Chains A and B, each alone.
Chain A
Amino acid sequence: MAAKTILEVKDLKTWFYTRRGIVKAVNGVSFTLDEGECLCLVGESGCGKSVTALSILRLFDSPPGKIVEGKVLYEGLDLTTCAMPLLRSIRGKDIAMVFQNAQSALNPVFTIGDQIEEQINTHMPHHDRNSRQKATALLEEMKIPEAAEALKMYPHQMSGGMKQRAMIAMGLSCDPRILIADEPTTAVDVTIRAQIIYILQELKARRNMSIIFITHDLSLVREIGDRAAVVYAGKVVEIAPVEHILNKPAHPYTIGLISCLPDISADLKRLPSIPGNTPNPIDIPSGCPFHPRCPSVMDICRTVEPEMLNISGVQIAACHLYDANVTGKR
């Protein structure tokens, strides 16, 4: 079954021009998103996964930020160059975003109902009269008890889990085709996290919606993702179906990330760890950005940047180890 590609990000570069230098937050990210698919962007803090998401809708501050190269194609339309009014009509309607911190993403002086209805009324004016009904239905879909009452609440009257669900309801208010969820469960507890993941899984199945799920937590990837893209130093280093990423990762960074999760089933005496720290985005190492921390580093890695190589049809990784010309094998 070949699903239709709905979003394509091509060699995207978003740089921030600061006084201390050029921060290459996103430095050549490419991926595609199919209809009804959940793609996880996985990476450590500062790797550029959030800026990638913001770049899709051009939501970062500009200046200092600028998309210096690349394309974001939504149904053939390049979102990086299209006119602002057109982009505005897509934001929130076709492509919606849910942020990590519901506390700061919600407006404290308006009720939840006002904030959800505002979005509905902006994008679907004809909905005017029954926008409240729609908002109630959305909160019910989010499994918020007494939805009609909850609409009258201000953000501070809600618990963290409820706020996060209200945020998702807001994201869904105009029936988007793509939902970008930026670490939507990082600020909530495990039991609440389980509830939110369950809701997202359900939504995906029922609405045939595409999701870009951004997270640093590989155990969540297993729960929700169809495919995962591992991001390191502003680049996608590996992209593959979730089972491949978790069970037979190819890129040394992915291998490292997975092995340093404490394995619940095994009794380890010592955790494997990746030496060193994530690179500073102002000063990204030459060649392969992972080479200073890589256990299988070769000479070529220090100077030549690896290209994305096809490993097994569905699995693609940027690593010289898989380049027959470099290793001479295969």
Chain B
Amino acid sequence: MKIQQILEIKELKKYYRVTSGLIPRPVGDIKAVDGVSLTIAEKEVLGLVGESGCGKTTLGKTILRLEEPTSGEILFNGMDVVKLNKGDMRKLRGKLQIVFQDPDSSLDPRMTVGGSIEEALVIQGIKSAGERTERVGALMEKVGLEAGFYERYPHEFSGGQKQRIGIARALAMDPELVIADEPVSALDVSVQAQILNLMMDIKDRDGLAYLFVSHDLSIVKYISDRVAVMYLGRIVEMAEKHEFFKDPLHPYTEALLSAIASLRPADKEKILLKGDVPSPLNPPSGCHFHTRCHRMIAICPEVDPAYREVAPGHFVACHLY
């Protein structure tokens, strides 16, 4: 049986030009996303982890073309999203949605929450007001809110409820892929679990796929089928979930897992990384991670390691393998 890939990204790059001086001159590029390739199958959850500034949010936004890619291909159901014009892109956005990290700033404070959800339906061309109201009610129920909340404003809701509204809005047009950008990191622990359960229920019922962006490995382990790790704009390791947690290959992944007490195997020493994440404006030569790596070898500062499949479905970019 061939698995249907709904998203396929090839060598995607997003650079930001940095200028300096009175008469602005380019001084370099911030390579926020620097040659990322990945696929997401139907009904699959791909967890994307990395530290702040590694480019995971930019990657999510670039897939939706909220940021224009510098180069590369984004194939959604075989169609190259990068080449679509504005009108076609708008039609596609119903199927390709995003849930943002901060529900406070992603909802319009002067719009009722019903109105916020309905707006998505208006944009997607559902003309009958009756049908729209009905669908908004159904959506609100789906995410566990009373339909009676239609006329309320965002400030009347708690953080968890606001995130439910954000999810309802993303679901308005029955998407096939939802990019969830740290959807629970702004929430309290007891509420996080509610939202994660809700997202899993919706996925099982509606059969959608998620690109789940997070910095929290324990959440990623719970929700994902496969996990990808990003470091300075590149994916350094990607594997099926169980393999990823059982047998991490890349030294950076090892260090990430080691930083979490409950994830660290009892027999292994805690790995403390030296220093900070380098600036993406001026990333280290060769392997970007070599400045902090605890298993560096002579070749690492010289040559950029290739991103290869070392075991079926297990990709890693490291000279050790």
Contacts and interface: CB of A to CB of B under 8 A. Distances in A.
B272 A192 contact: no
A264 interface: yes
A192 B51 CA distance: 10
Contacts of B215: 189-190
Contact of B276 (A44, A159, A194, A275): A159
Interface residues of A, number: 38
Nearest to B195: A273
Contacts of A26: none
A128 B59 CA distance: 52
A162 B276 CA distance: 8
Interface residues of B, number: 37
B273 interface: yes
Interface in A187-226: 189-195, 198, 216-219, 222-223
B256 interface: yes
Interface in B167-224: 188-194, 196-197, 200, 215, 217-219, 221-222
B155 to A, nearest CB: 13
Interface in B34-87: 51-52
Contacts of A275: 194
Contacts of A217: 189
Nearest to A42: B189
Interface stretch (B90-98, B257-265, B298-306, B309-317): B257-265
Contacts of B9: none
B265 to A, nearest CB: 10
Contact of B190 (A189, A190, A222, A274): A274
Nearest to A218: B189
Contacts of A190: 51, 215, 217, 256, 259-260
A270 B276 contact: no
B261 A262 contact: no
B272 A189 contact: no
A18 interface: no
Given A162-B276, A271-B222, A273-B197, A278 B259 contact: no
Nearest to B192: A260
The 6 A-B residue pairs whose C-beta atoms are closest, nearest first, are A273-B193, A260-B193, A189-B51, A262-B222, A274-B190, A44-B188
